[in-house]
Amino acid sequence: MSISDKFWKRGSDFLGVKYPIMAGAMTWISDFELARAVSANGAFPVLAGGNMDPDMFEKEIDRLSAGLTGPFAVNMITIAPNFKKQYEIVRGKKIPIAIFAGNFPKKHDVEGLKEKGIKTMAFASSGQISDQMIRFGVDALILEGSEAGGHIGYVSTMILLQQILFHTNEVPVFIAGGIGTGKMIAHMLLMGASGVQLGTRFVVSEECTAHQKFKDAFIKAKARHAIATPQYDARLPIVAVRALKNRGTENFGKLQLELILKLEKGEITREEAQFEVERFWVGGLRKGVVDGDIENGSLMAGQSVGLVERVQPIKEIIEELVADTEKELRAVQEKLN
């Protein structure tokens, strides 16, 4: 029996997989092909709902249900225009786990899924939020530091560990943001995490259907190249996005300024402006991931992009993460003896 089996157990039991390593939800990336490879190698896949059309969303869920041998989760963005429709679809399916992202779910959102036997997970960005999510009945938490890619919070993984992980035992806690190696996973487990979530590392895999130019941009990038977008005006609240800096990043800044001017003139409502923001990112990400337009498209990536060196098969990535986790746990044990 490996040392890591003891540390994997709570997360493995919760997710229903051998290794509580979650492949985080990434729009246009977390598709059936990636999910199948992750699942086949003992880890846990997550379908990215994004603002997916309800019909396509339902078809993707059915495809995963029929084509995977293990469990999976569906990630829904609570602020997406199609959230309510996606939510009702999820309630009607036999899905093991649903993840609320983008913003924090309402109590009735959590209860509505639990009534159907679906376990729920939510992100927490502070001790107060984590306590609220637990009161609402969420079955597990994900702490995602600002080092992560895509839509992010404002607090680093280092702080979230101290604010929440060290004080939470009621539910399993999974850590995301800045994790790219098994050595780091080992230390997350030692600190009390039940598992981890990675995104950037799985983008640069053979099974990921992202355009080769998109993957090449990740391999060439340094950690400092993955920057977070600023909010220019409180009248247009945005969720920060971390991506590799390019012309698309600059275009987003211009879009914000244009929308703020329209808000001042009364030509657009705040809700409409926020919809335009999300539409920009969905379209920009498609340009980067699908079309390979690495200049104008969105290259959402976490700062762990600086740890990515080459394209590997999913099997090799997971085996490497697991082996390095075990190796580091043994090294720590030896130091303590």
Mean pLDDT of 246-273: 91
Mean pLDDT of 6-31: 95
Q: What residues contact residue 139 under an 8 Å CB cut-off, 6+ apart? A: 14, 97, 114, 119, 120, 121, 171, 172
Share of the chain above pLDDT 70, in %: 100
Structural domain boundaries in the chain: 3-210+307-336, 221-289
For the entire predicted model, the pTM comes to: 0.94
Q: Comparing C-alpha atoms, which of 276, 235, 270 is closest to residue 255?
A: 276
Q: Compute how many other C-beta atoms are within 10 angstroms of the C-beta atom of residue 302.
A: 32
Q: Comparing C-alpha atoms, which of 129, 128, 288, 303 is closest to residue 208?
A: 288
Tokens of 119: 């376990």
pLDDT score at 274: 81
pLDDT score at 237: 82
Q: What is the dihedral of CA 65, 69, 71, 76, to 10 degrees?
A: -40
| Lowest-confidence segment of 105-109, 172-176, 280-284 by average pLDDT | 280-284
pLDDT in tens, 73-99: 999 988 887 899 999 999 999 999 999
Is residue 24 within 8 A of residue 203, CB to CB? The reply is no
CATH architecture under which domain 3-210+307-336 falls: Alpha-Beta Barrel (3.20)
pLDDT score at 335: 94
Q: Comparing C-alpha atoms, which of 196, 179, 187 is closest to residue 303?
A: 179
- C-alpha 204/C-alpha 334 separation (Å) is 33
Q: How many residues does the chain have?
A: 337
Q: In the chain, where does DSSP find H-type helix?
A: 3-15, 32-40, 54-67, 83-91, 107-114, 127-136, 157-163, 182-190, 200-203, 212-220, 247-265, 270-289, 314-336
pLDDT above 90 for 152: no
Is residue 187 within 8 A of residue 328, CB to CB? The reply is yes
